[in-house]
């Protein structure tokens, strides 16, 4: 498949978000950012103008890519909408679904006699769903679904619920491909079915995903 994105503007998110509890603790996840960074690099090699909105990861910025660093889900939402409009949006970041209702101004301390700690969490804004109804909307909106179970069913559900064009789903766990790994396997779903990419390195999968996106965009532009 041809992977030309010359003249296209691509917006990619990558990595986790950290939701602060107090000045020393946060809620986070195991995303390394490697998949999203590989996609940004692949899109740039395909000729696109690429903006990468990155959560807190220690990865070098891909050559030719403009990077915006953020920490929280709220900051990522704001950065994404600051970077729109775009022809293609690829939401590879593992964005927190919940954040503490309040951030403690000082370190939360253990108190004598306490057996635990109750946290009040509230929903974060849904970046992918908001991009899918943005005005103007990207021509192609791609979401990611990191699942531990029922990968196909959850990906199909996300495709419909978020009103996106493609969902790239993968199984994650404490071992194997996915988070914190250099390898991955993606099932890329659209309304007609799905195609499997991998198992392979994240760099190779990124090239194949970008080629798939470019081919779809070319077909829709005819």
Report, as residue numbers or ranges, the catalytic residues.
29
Cis peptide before 136 (omega within 30 of 0): yes
Tokens of 124: 């974060």
The answer to whether the beta carbons of residues 102 and 120 sit under 8 Å apart is: yes
Plot region of 88 (φ>0 → left; ψ -120 to 50 → alpha; else → beta): beta
Task: Please give the radius of gyration of the chain, using alpha carbons only, rounded to the nearest integer.
Answer: 18
DSSP SS3 for 171: strand
Residue 196 CA to residue 90 CA, distance in Å, equals 17
């Amino acid at each position: 498949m041809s992977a030309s994105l010359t003249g296209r503007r691509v917006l990619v998110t990558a990595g986790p978000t950290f939701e602060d509890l107090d000045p020393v603790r946060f809620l986070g996840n195991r995303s390394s950012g490697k998949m999203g960074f590989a996609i940004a690099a692949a899109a740039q090699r395909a000729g696109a103008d690429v903006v990468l909105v990155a959560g807190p990861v220690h990865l070098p910025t891909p050559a030719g890519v403009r990077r915006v660093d953020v920490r929280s889900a709220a900051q990522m939402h704001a950065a994404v909408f600051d970077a729109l409009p775009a022809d293609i949006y690829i939401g590879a970041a593992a964005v927190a679904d919940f954040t503490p209702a309040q951030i403690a101004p000082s370190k939360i301390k253990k108190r004598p006699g306490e057996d635990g700690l109750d946290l009040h969490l509230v929903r974060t804004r849904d970046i992918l769903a908001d991009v899918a109804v943005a005005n103007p909307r990207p021509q192609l909106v791609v979401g990611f679904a990191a699942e531990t179970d029922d990968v196909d069913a959850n990906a199909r559900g996300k495709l419909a619920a978020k009103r996106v064009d493609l969902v790239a789903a993968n199984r994650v766990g404490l071992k194997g491909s996915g988070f914190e790994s250099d390898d991955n396997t993606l099932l890329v779903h659209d309304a007609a079915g799905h195609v499997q990419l991998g198992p392979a390195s994240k760099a190779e999968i990124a090239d194949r995903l970008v080629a798939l996106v470019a081919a779809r965009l070319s077909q829709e532009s005819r």
